[in-house]
Structure 1
């Protein structure tokens, strides 16, 4: 099964495709082994799942692989879904977020191993301490800049860039208008840029 990647993945247009009665019913029928219902569920949600994963993983091929892993898990775990604990869309997006984070961590672990191997081949006078301090200082600058945002801006930026949520999802989560979320993100990113001395 190939990932469908239509125009506008992760856009607000996808929000309308997630009516609770549709996704919940399709997942419920999929849990009984109904392959046609699972196919409909896949066609309905794969663009949105892919959009979330792509924002986190970035790499196109890996994002497609993770999307396939998500729907395989959905198919296998559908009988265990409890509709009394929430909607199907939330359950599936939680799986997608967890799988994306797992892939990021695995990739980082692989890079760390490569780095450790590479360090063994570096000249003895390579200043590892200076490199570590530089990374720590940069991380500290970002944390410090985030702390100087307003609470509303910091919350919106964190949900978007660390939580992987769309602007519409942030609006739903916070119970505020979409326009408010867009303003908080825009102002927050401008403030971060200024705090970090980044020039456009």
Structure 2
């Protein structure tokens, strides 16, 4: 007769549930979409420079600007927004499929799906999964339909220009920006109060 240890049943159930979650991640390739929130810089393979979104909503790639701090924020499984922290704008496709920095994230044109390709990150628009975030060799954003994958020279260029390397923020550059006074908010250090003690002069 087989006897079961009831104290181990909940543990076995939890282990099975954990195993099924791991299998789902491996099968679906869902690791990139599980990021809740992180601040990064996106280095473009085609222009060899970093993606920038300035306070006027202009999108471009350059190594000279300081609008490159981006926050990837999860808004659902496999869905995220790309928020430019300094400019306080969201990276979106407008109705003409041009890349812009919008003040509010309106609908799927401002939502992205992150996928891994050949060691790079690619960001596909949820409004049309054939269109991706891409920048040409001159650092100008590419029109949505021009990023669609096709055979031939244009297709190879679209692949390269939609590839990004996701890099963490450099602590040294953050310290340098702080010393130059480029941070929007600079915490005030508390001043230390010095108490003076007066000694009595010895009486003669």
TM-score normalised to the size of structure 2?
A: 0.24
Q: Which has the larger radius of gyration?
A: 2
| Higher normalized contact order (CA 8 Å, seq sep 6+, divided by chain length) | 1
**In proportion to residue count, which structure has more strand?**
2
Larger helix fraction of residues: 1
Query: How high is the TM-score relative to the length of structure 1?
Result: 0.24
